[in-house]
Structure 1
Amino acid sequence: MRAEQVDDPAEYRFCSYAAAMGGKASAIAGYRLIYGGRPFSEAIAAYRLCLFGKGAKPKGELDKDRGVIPLEKLDAMIRGGGKVEVSELLRRRVRYFSDGMAIGSKIFLKGLFDEHRECFPESRKARFASMKGAEWGELQVVRDLKVNIFG
């Protein structure tokens, strides 16, 4: 990808796609605008299908065919409907790991909370926050991040 500089377009930090995948608000808003105001998860899935489809097509010139997306990656992207896997999202959203304290299911976090109750203020109740900014499924965090979620 990108003249063989990175394996995934989202890893090329000088593009709007990487910025959007990293949570930059203006990039997210741009993709939503381009795709008719659809939710970001739908807009980025549509864009990923377009990006990977175009990137898998050889340009027809030997000196310009560097960084072609392998057909296996394109096939997997199509089968997945362009959706971003939770594992990829987590890898790109480091702040949830540091400031969110712990990530997991509600049951997992409740067990962690109970096991380490002495680490929390007495007034703290066992409440957890759903993760924001993407389709995380049932994942939650101990601390609800309000500002600069994707730092």
Structure 2
Amino acid sequence: MGGKVSAMEGYRLIYGGRSFDDAMAGYRLCLFGKGAKPKGEQDKDRGVIPEENLSEVIRTGGKVEMSELLRRRVRYFSDGMAIGSRLFLKEIYEQRRDCFPESRKARFATMKGADWGGLQVVRDLKVNLFG
């Protein structure tokens, strides 16, 4: 998972000063646990996480499995246009300027959903990251 250092440190402290990866696993367990519990009102129960999804997260101890990370990476390759360091993406942008609208500025998005080591993409994935 990527993010601001202060936010990452906050999660780490909330979850007992463990490593960031362990803190994220604990946070994921908490989110899925709360999300799988019905709210008790029909109009508020539409977003309940299915029991089998909760069971899977519990089975993995809150860690994201490699297959899930690879599925996300494939989506980044197909919809993100190009993956790499900011410098690499800027080179691609300048070499293939004809592929972008004139109004497009050289902006890139940090990959989300895992610790991608600072990798960025040309197109930010905002919808269905897990699809």
| TM-score range normalised by the length of the shorter chain | 0.5 to 0.7
1:6-45 correspondence to structure 2 within 5 Å:
21-45=1-25
- Gapped runs of 5+ residues in structure 1? 1-20, 102-132, 137-144
Percent identical among aligned pairs is: 66
Under a length normalisation based on structure 1, what TM-score does the superposition of the two structures give?
Answer: 0.48
User: Which residue does the alignment assign to 1:109?
Assistant: none
Measure, in 2, the Cα distance between the counterparts of 1:37 and 1:23. Answer: 17
1:46-57 correspondence to structure 2 within 5 Å:
46-57=26-37
Measure, in 2, the Cα distance between the counterparts of 1:62 and 1:44. Answer: 30
Measure, in 1, the Cα distance between the counterparts of 2:30 and 2:15. Answer: 12
Deviation at 1:27, TM superposition (A): 2.0
User: Which residue does the alignment assign to 1:58?
Assistant: 38
Name which one, 1 or 2, has greater alpha-carbon Rg. Answer: 1
What letter corresponds to residue 56 of structure 2 in structure 1? Answer: A
Native 8 Å contact 2:26 2:62 kept in 1: yes
- Gapped runs of 5+ residues in structure 2? 89-113, 121-131
Q: Aligned residues, how many?
A: 87
Secondary structure (helix, strand or coil) at the match of 2:10 reads helix
Measure, in 2, the Cα distance between the counterparts of 1:88 and 1:150. Answer: 17
Q: Which has the higher contact order (CA 8 A, sep 6+)?
A: 2
Distance 1:22 1:46, change over 3 A: same
Deviation at 1:89, TM superposition (A): 4.2
Alignment counterpart, residue 72 of structure 1, candidates 52, 57, 60: 52
CA RMSD of the aligned region, Å?
3.1
Measure, in 2, the Cα distance between the counterparts of 1:87 and 1:99. Answer: 23
Under a length normalisation based on structure 2, what TM-score does the superposition of the two structures give?
Answer: 0.54
